[in-house]
């Protein structure tokens, strides 16, 4: 059941790795030391996983990576989950059932590109260490490393902002300033700039400062009323005035709002689900289980519901899946300018829902 890593060369092939008269790979194989080293780096996951109650496909992808000591972000996990769903002829990647067996062999490619490292080779004989170093070098040359991701590399944010310029939401002269302000907010409140871009597609069609459904206004839909988002940023009685503010200015309101709803300032980086729930319904953040129904008032976009069916609840998993799916649809096609997808936003005082800020 062990998942074989195609990036690992069998020990018997190591006899040609060194030049000269000595053959370290052969000596190591004879001594049994190199087999012990290989055992340290051999993957231990199974290519077939039986679904347990509460599992999600994205969660299983992340779990498989964790077992290999590898990291995978939400966007990568989403794409891999959809590819694995296609491999297993799963029509709806958001719907897997307890007892179902899913083949994760596709992840071999990921694990081969990112081989786990040996924790320590201090007790490995010199010959074995030399062979292992050569093995790593040959593997690295065969599999090109993934491109480096700099702190300024936020492809979804850049696509959404460029789209906002094309649609007239944002003057091109303001683009650099808006991008800088979003990345500053992301650093301050510990979220990914790309995730803010994703939720803006749901809230305002992608950074549209004039988006409104009559009750909620602006890029993250500040809602009117004494205990709602507009009141939290200083507009308790004239929420529509927010529509007269530029995108750049509205980001100041976003900063004020995040400070009011208790965003983590010095904590682990929050995921897309917590970030969006801070806007959609802050009180719902108290439910941490990925597949538990969330208490979110008012009708919401079908994208956010389990199976995209508004008769089903919204869960953390369905919310993340829906935001990723909508992002792919809107950024992958020339989507016409639309009204905000969400009909009504619940942005209330999380400390005491229904009370004034």
Q: Is residue 84 part of a domain?
A: yes
The answer to whether residues 210 and 308 belong to one domain is yes
Average pLDDT over residues 307-334: 90
The answer to whether residues 101 and 27 belong to one domain is yes
DSSP codes of every residue in 245-298: S-HHHHHHHHHHHHHHTT--SSSSPP-HHHHHHHHH-GGGGG---TTSPP---S
The answer to whether residues 25 and 129 belong to one domain is yes
Residue that wins the pLDDT comparison between 154 and 335: 154
Average pLDDT over residues 194-216: 95
Mean pLDDT of all residues belonging to the chain:
76
The answer to whether residues 110 and 203 belong to one domain is no
Pairing of strands 216-217, 222-223: antiparallel
Split at pLDDT 50, 70, 90, the class of 247 is very high
Average pLDDT over residues 249-254: 96
Both tokens of residue 17? 């790795």
pLDDT of residue 127: 55
Q: Is residue 341 part of a domain?
A: no
Tell me: pLDDT of 164 over 80: yes
The answer to whether residues 31 and 135 belong to one domain is yes
Question: How many angstroms separate the CA atoms of 331 and 316, rounded?
Answer: 23
Tell me: pLDDT of 243 over 50: yes
Q: How many CB atoms lie within 10 A of CB 160?
A: 26
Measure the N-to-C terminal CA separation of the chain; round to a whole number of Å.
Answer: 57
The answer to whether residues 237 and 160 belong to one domain is yes
Query: Which of 142, 166, 182 marks a domain boundary?
Result: 142
Total number of domains in the chain: 2
Both tokens of residue 45? 């996951």
Q: Is residue 149 part of a domain?
A: no
The answer to whether residues 311 and 176 belong to one domain is yes
The answer to whether residues 114 and 175 belong to one domain is no
Domain assignment of residue 232, given as a range? 155-331
Handedness of CA 50, 55, 56, 62 (dihedral sign): negative
Q: Is residue 178 part of a domain?
A: yes
Q: Is residue 148 part of a domain?
A: no
Q: Is residue 85 part of a domain?
A: yes
Q: Is residue 40 part of a domain?
A: yes
pLDDT of residue 319: 96
Question: For residue range 336-348, what is the model confidence (pLDDT) as tens digits?
Answer: 334 444 433 334 4
The answer to whether residues 116 and 159 belong to one domain is no
Query: Which of 142, 169, 189 marks a domain boundary?
Result: 142
Contact 43, 117 (CB under 8 A): no
Question: For residue range 258-292, what is the model confidence (pLDDT) as tens digits?
Answer: 999 888 765 678 899 999 999 999 999 999 999 99
Both tokens of residue 100? 């179902």
Question: How many angstroms separate the CA atoms of 222 and 239, rounded?
Answer: 7
Question: For residue range 9-30, what is the model confidence (pLDDT) as tens digits?
Answer: 444 443 343 344 444 444 444 4
Tell me: pLDDT of 202 over 90: yes
The answer to whether residues 54 and 111 belong to one domain is yes
Lowest mean pLDDT among 70-79, 137-146, 295-304, 337-346: 337-346
Tell me: pLDDT of 302 over 60: yes
Tell me: pLDDT of 74 over 70: yes
Q: Is residue 5 part of a domain?
A: no
Question: For residue range 128-157, what is the model confidence (pLDDT) as tens digits?
Answer: 555 556 655 555 445 444 443 344 589 999
Residue for token pair 């503010």: 245
Question: For residue range 81-102, what is the model confidence (pLDDT) as tens digits?
Answer: 888 888 888 877 778 888 899 9
Question: How many angstroms separate the CA atoms of 194 and 161, rounded?
Answer: 11
Tell me: pLDDT of 121 over 70: no
The answer to whether residues 273 and 204 belong to one domain is yes
Question: How many angstroms separate the CA atoms of 199 and 253, rounded?
Answer: 16
The answer to whether residues 61 and 129 belong to one domain is yes
Tell me: pLDDT of 125 over 60: no
């Amino acid at each position: 059941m062990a998942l074989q890593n195609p990036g690992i060369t069998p020990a018997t092939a190591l006899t040609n790795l060194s030049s000269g008269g000595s053959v370290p790979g052969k000596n190591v194989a004879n001594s049994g030391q190199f087999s012990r080293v290989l055992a340290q780096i051999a993957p231990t996951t199974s290519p077939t996983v039986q679904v347990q109650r509460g599992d999600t496909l994205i969660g299983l992808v992340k779990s498989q990576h964790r077992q290999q000591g590898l990291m995978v972000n939400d966007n990568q996990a989403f794409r891999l989950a959809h590819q694995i769903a296609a491999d297993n002829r799963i029509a709806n990647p958001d719907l897997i059932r307890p007892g179902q067996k899913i083949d994760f062999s596709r992840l071999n490619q990921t694990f081969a590109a990112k081989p786990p490292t040996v924790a320590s080779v201090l007790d490995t004989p010199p010959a074995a260490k030399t062979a292992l170093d050569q093995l790593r070098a040959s593997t690295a040359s065969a599999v090109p490393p993934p491109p480096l991701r700099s702190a300024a590399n936020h492809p979804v944010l850049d696509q959404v902002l460029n789209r906002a310029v094309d649609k007239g939401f944002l003057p091109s002269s303001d683009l650099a300033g808006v991008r800088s302000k979003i990345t500053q907010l992301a650093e301050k409140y510990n979220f990914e700039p790309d995730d803010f871009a994703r939720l803006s597609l749901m809230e305002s069609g992608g950074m549209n400062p004039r988006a409104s459904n009559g009750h909620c206004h602006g890029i993250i839909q500040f809602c009117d009323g004494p205990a709602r988002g507009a009141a939290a940023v200083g507009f308790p009685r004239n929420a529509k005035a927010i529509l007269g503010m530029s995108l750049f200015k509205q980001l100041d309101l976003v900063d004020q709002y995040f400070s009011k709803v208790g965003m983590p300032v010095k904590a682990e980086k929050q995921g897309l689900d917590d970030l969006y729930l801070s806007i959609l319904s802050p009180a719902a953040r108290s439910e941490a289980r990925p597949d538990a129904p969330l208490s979110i008032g008012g009708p919401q976009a079908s994208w956010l519901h389990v199976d995209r069916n508004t008769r089903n609840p919204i869960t953390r998993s369905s919310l993340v899946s829906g935001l990723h799916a909508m992002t792919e649809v809107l950024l992958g096609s020339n989507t016409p300018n639309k009204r905000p997808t969400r009909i009504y936003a619940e942005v209330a005082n999380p400390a005491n829902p229904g009370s004034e800020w």
